[in-house]
Structure 1
């Protein structure tokens, strides 16, 4: 069974309509109009095959249009060739807002942010944690701060915003109760965070708290975010809030963060980053981020919003995949570029690939027991087109996990 979850028929119709040219007026929060995508680079048939099928990656590279950045019919030489494992398009070619996360455990992302800064509007180094130790709120991860790297990123793109992630990490129930016990305790934490941002060469923060506190403390956490966002705005600093996908794999709302919640925080939050990935969680191979589900998740919030409000949502784009072993009844394991390339090298011409038409993702068959859903230029291109049509930006998790040539599309 290659596909998991239920695809909403209406959502799929909406998705296909968007990808074939529905006209949604957008007001982007930035202007990249002078940097157009080379039409030869994006030529294609919108990525939908009439019938999904396995193809062999040993096909001749000469049979492929090398001018296409995102070919649908992959071949082995292209996946491993020098022209497809390096960034050949260094300038920005994508008009929507792009947030890129950089993590200390995937160092390649630091170089991408530094040398390809013009492709990004927001860079979020994943450095810091907010913790409560012995009754006091403290910041962790300070040793990861890299001031010289920040300078190099800004030298590459003076307009880029550096917005490090601040994760509320390890908070127990009694810690949260103390934090939310009254206005004074929340005010003290907000002031501590704002002063921290002001003391560093940052333009704001990504504050990840809602995912950590869950349903029980959602309302007081939203109150804290409203307070924090207002305080940051006074100093012209930005606030980005990550959110889980609003829909389960069966298409039903999880009701964790609703449209009313968005309206409440909208005045003080600059961007909402929707984590539209990790769709499949069981042992059976399934897509990481099926396109029809992404569409439904974004429309859940944006279908009735004007263009300027839609542009403040960032659609999550995964640069990682999942590996499944048919002889093990366990959930898929995350796999990043290095592991994926190792499998390609190991199985080379024996590798087979399936285009999952419903999910608009590629599934790789490595030998008899290993299947991998991993992003490709084609699947990413389709998601960027989708974000553009929906009038939203994108948030990449994370820059160091993917193949280098993914960034040719941004």
Structure 2
């Protein structure tokens, strides 16, 4: 995953962060070709797991130290691999000794692999396990993130002794007009604001095979940021807008309309292949601010939603209006000319 300041918009648009899976070879190429476009790159490499009382970091086999070194030579981009917290929530959060072990494991990996920090993902998993519905467990969860952030801020990057290790935290976007009990909200942001360096807001996957439609309606993106920052600016949370990396999908979806639950994600090459094969009429959906087209195959009707220069540009404007950055999921999945907007 990568984040970056866009040169042409440096004063208006803060940072851009993008995800990149280890199997996504095109993502590696894009990261090196467009290094100057990003502030951070976050390869999807690691999982922090538990086995009994033992914590361990899985993913070193995925890591590519030469790739990290190449990026460092190409510019000032920071490399923060994603770490998904797979450890059983109760075993980790209810045992403060485990907090220290988790911090030590992550710091050791950053030091040995010369990373500039990590992108941590755990909120969605904690929600599934009911952690966020319990006030005491939620408090412990936030305290753990704070402890990790403080530990990382106490250590300087191996590559840049004047810069501490960074912690960016991944949060899902709410799917309703109001925050649900398990959603990350203004109070959580206030609690973590001094201990983390950014929030990666996953404003994509609004629709799915069960409910075909746009990937990320612009109005939903706007309301997600508004809910996170608090509508009335209570506690001055609008000043934290610069910490948000607004999620933008570079992939699309091909839904089968005549078969509920069918269809799924497509990337750039799939999209181009569909255009060439079916020669569809590209349509603009004003409500979601996304392009889509309809085609038929084997007597089944499909709807394809895929980002375009216009839809991405409008989302850049949204991020700019808030003073937020961008989180691109994921580089290598989109079309190369998308990066001309950055």
What range is the shorter-chain TM-score in? 0.7 to 0.9
Corresponding residue for residue 340 of structure 2: 408
The number of aligned residues is 317
Corresponding residue for residue 228 of structure 1: 148
Corresponding residue for residue 8 of structure 2: 36
Corresponding residue for residue 227 of structure 2: 300
User: Which deviates the most, 118-127 or 305-314?
Assistant: 305-314
**Aligned to 1:369, which of 301, 304, 328?**
301
Per the alignment, in what secondary structure is the counterpart of residue 191 of structure 1? helix
Contact 2:186/2:237, CA 8 A, preserved across alignment: no
Superposition deviation, residue 94 in structure 1: 8.0
Give, in whole Å, the separation in 1 of the partners of 2:50 and 2:121. 15
Distance 1:233 1:285, change over 3 A: same
Distance 1:93 1:223, change over 3 A: closer
Larger radius of gyration: 1
Q: How does 1:43-192 map to 2 (within 5 A)?
A: 95-157=13-75, 159-169=76-86, 171=87, 175-192=88-105
Corresponding residue for residue 320 of structure 2: 388
Contact 1:307/1:391, CA 8 A, preserved across alignment: no
Contact 1:94/1:409, CA 8 A, preserved across alignment: no
Per the alignment, in what secondary structure is the counterpart of residue 288 of structure 2? coil
Superposition deviation, residue 282 in structure 1: 4.8
Distance 1:340 1:404, change over 3 A: same
User: Which deviates the most, 393-402 or 219-228?
Assistant: 219-228
Corresponding residue for residue 85 of structure 1: none
Give, in whole Å, the separation in 2 of the partners of 1:331 and 1:296. 28
Contact 1:93/1:119, CA 8 A, preserved across alignment: no
Corresponding residue for residue 57 of structure 1: none
Corresponding residue for residue 327 of structure 1: 258
CA RMSD of aligned residues (A): 2.2
- Greater relative CO (CA pairs within 8 A, separation 6+): 1
**Aligned to 1:251, which of 177, 194, 214?**
177
Give, in whole Å, the separation in 1 of the partners of 2:116 and 2:148. 14
Per the alignment, in what secondary structure is the counterpart of residue 262 of structure 1? helix
Per the alignment, in what secondary structure is the counterpart of residue 126 of structure 1? strand
Per the alignment, in what secondary structure is the counterpart of residue 311 of structure 1? helix
Corresponding residue for residue 238 of structure 1: 166
Distance 1:132 1:391, change over 3 A: same
Corresponding residue for residue 248 of structure 2: 317
Per the alignment, in what secondary structure is the counterpart of residue 108 of structure 2? helix
Distance 1:121 1:308, change over 3 A: farther
Question: Structure 1: any 5+ residue segments left out of the alignment?
Answer: 1-28, 38-91
Superposition deviation, residue 326 in structure 1: 2.4
Corresponding residue for residue 131 of structure 2: 217
TM value normalised by structure 2: 0.87
Superposition deviation, residue 288 in structure 1: 0.7
Describe the superposition over 1:314-345 as per-residue Cα deviations: whole angstroms up to 9, x where unpaired: 11000111111123121541111121111111
Residue 338 in 1 paired to residue 256 in 2? no
Give, in whole Å, the separation in 2 of the partners of 1:379 and 1:274. 18
Contact 1:282/1:331, CA 8 A, preserved across alignment: yes
Contact 2:257/2:302, CA 8 A, preserved across alignment: yes
Superposition deviation, residue 190 in structure 1: 1.7
Contact 1:203/1:238, CA 8 A, preserved across alignment: yes
Question: Structure 2: any 5+ residue segments left out of the alignment?
Answer: 133-137, 156-163
